[in-house]
């Protein structure tokens, strides 16, 4: 009797109902079940990148280093920043979150389409794909972070207590990248126009974000408007945490950026969830 009841219970537990428009109650549980897939897809993308190269994983270090050197050289000339901090460190501190965002946004945007065969042939929560793309960019970000640390040691620059708040800003950067990435990935499935919009956003965004300059050169009355770019808050936050000293945060703008990032992430998840059921039909 007891055994019988237990069987029924476990059967009920496993029963799956497929219906039109049914909001998947198992979704988050499924996502947990497939948690290793995040890792595997990210692992695949990183592994594949350095296959058939002679120096292999050394590229993982050299690639961001070269990018950073180029940008640092370019922006060192443009940057109008206080000079008590070494210039490369100043620029690098802003480039770090920007590069992360730009890469994550680009890769997440293209991720669903480049995995279209998987989407049309296997079930798993689709959220795994763009998230893995963001994770890959995050790994690059961490490696670049090591380079920044090396740079700081080289210049003998010691950050103050604010450095411990850095994880918070990293988290915000991650959320911004996820939010924007989810939106663009889902839109790209149906409207391939976004394929052409992504590089444009990334190129323009670099100049619209305070990477090559400090956001306090923006006139006071425009600062709030300027903060509508969510990366402004993120980049300012990074500078504030890493450089310490006399760098200031423009709090209203930062809070606005923070609000926008949250909005981007929440709506991104909602839109993705809403459209993902039809991915296999339209991709």
Binding site for another protein (CB under 8 A): 11, 14-21, 33-34, 36-37, 40-41, 43-44, 47-48, 51-52, 115, 117-124, 190-193, 277-278, 280-282
Rounded to 10 deg, the angle between the 166-190 and 87-114 helix axes is 30
The number of C-alpha atoms within 13 Å of 197 and in the hemisphere containing its C-beta is: 13
Q: Is the backbone of residue 218 left (phi > 0), alpha (psi -120 to 50) or beta? A: beta
Least distance from another protein to the Cβ atom of residue 23, Å: 11
Report d(CA 89, CA 175) in Å as an integer.
Answer: 24
Q: 161: which residues sit within 8 A by CB, 6+ positions away?
A: 244
Closer to another protein by Cβ: residue 127 or 256: 127
Closer to another protein by Cβ: residue 139 or 197: 197
Q: Which residue has the tokens 């950067």?
A: 173
Least distance from another protein to the Cβ atom of residue 131, Å: 14
> Which of 138, 140, 166, 154 is CA-nearest to residue 87?
154
Least distance from another protein to the Cβ atom of residue 267, Å: 18
Least distance from another protein to the Cβ atom of residue 276, Å: 10
Q: Is residue 128 within 8 Å of 41, Cβ to Cβ?
A: yes
Closer to another protein by Cβ: residue 11 or 221: 11
> Which tokens is 185 given?
């990935």
Give the total residue count for the chain. Answer: 283
Least distance from another protein to the Cβ atom of residue 170, Å: 27
Closer to another protein by Cβ: residue 14 or 77: 14
Least distance from another protein to the Cβ atom of residue 35, Å: 9
Closer to another protein by Cβ: residue 66 or 282: 282
Closer to another protein by Cβ: residue 96 or 136: 136
Q: Which residue has the tokens 């995995």?
A: 115
Q: Is residue 250 within 8 Å of 223, Cβ to Cβ?
A: yes
Report d(CA 178, CA 109) in Å as an integer.
Answer: 10
Closer to another protein by Cβ: residue 200 or 222: 200
Least distance from another protein to the Cβ atom of residue 195, Å: 10
């Amino acid at each position: 009797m007891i055994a019988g009841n237990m069987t029924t219970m476990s059967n009920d537990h496993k029963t799956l109902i497929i219906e039109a428009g049914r909001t998947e109650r198992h979704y988050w549980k499924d996502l947990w079940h497939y948690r290793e897939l995040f890792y595997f897809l990210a692992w695949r993308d990183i592994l594949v990148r350095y296959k058939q190269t002679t120096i292999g994983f050394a590229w993982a270090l050299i690639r961001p280093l070269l990018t950073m050197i180029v940008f640092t050289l370019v922006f060192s000339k443009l940057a109008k920043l206080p000079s008590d901090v070494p210039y490369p460190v100043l620029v690098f501190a802003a480039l770090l979150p920007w590069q992360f965002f730009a890469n994550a946004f680009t890769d997440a945007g293209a991720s669903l389409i480049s995995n279209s065969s998987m989407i049309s042939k296997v079930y798993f929560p689709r959220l795994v794909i763009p998230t893995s793309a963001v994770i890959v960019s995050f790994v690059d970000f961490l490696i670049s972070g090591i380079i920044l640390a090396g740079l700081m040691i080289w210049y003998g620059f010691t950050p103050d207590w604010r450095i411990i708040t850095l994880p918070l800003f990293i988290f915000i950067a991650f959320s911004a990248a996820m939010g924007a990435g989810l939106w663009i990935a889902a839109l790209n499935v149906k409207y391939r126009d976004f394929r052409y919009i992504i590089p444009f956003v990334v190129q323009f965004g670099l100049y619209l974000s305070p990477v090559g300059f400090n956001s306090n050169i923006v006139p006071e009355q425009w600062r709030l408007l300027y903060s509508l770019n969510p990366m402004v808050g993120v980049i300012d936050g990074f500078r504030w945490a890493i450089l310490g000293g006399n760098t200031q945060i423009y709090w209203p703008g930062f809070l606005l950026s923070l609000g926008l990032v949250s909005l981007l992430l929440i709506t991104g998840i909602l839109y993705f969830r809403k459209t993902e059921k039809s991915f296999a039909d339209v991709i």
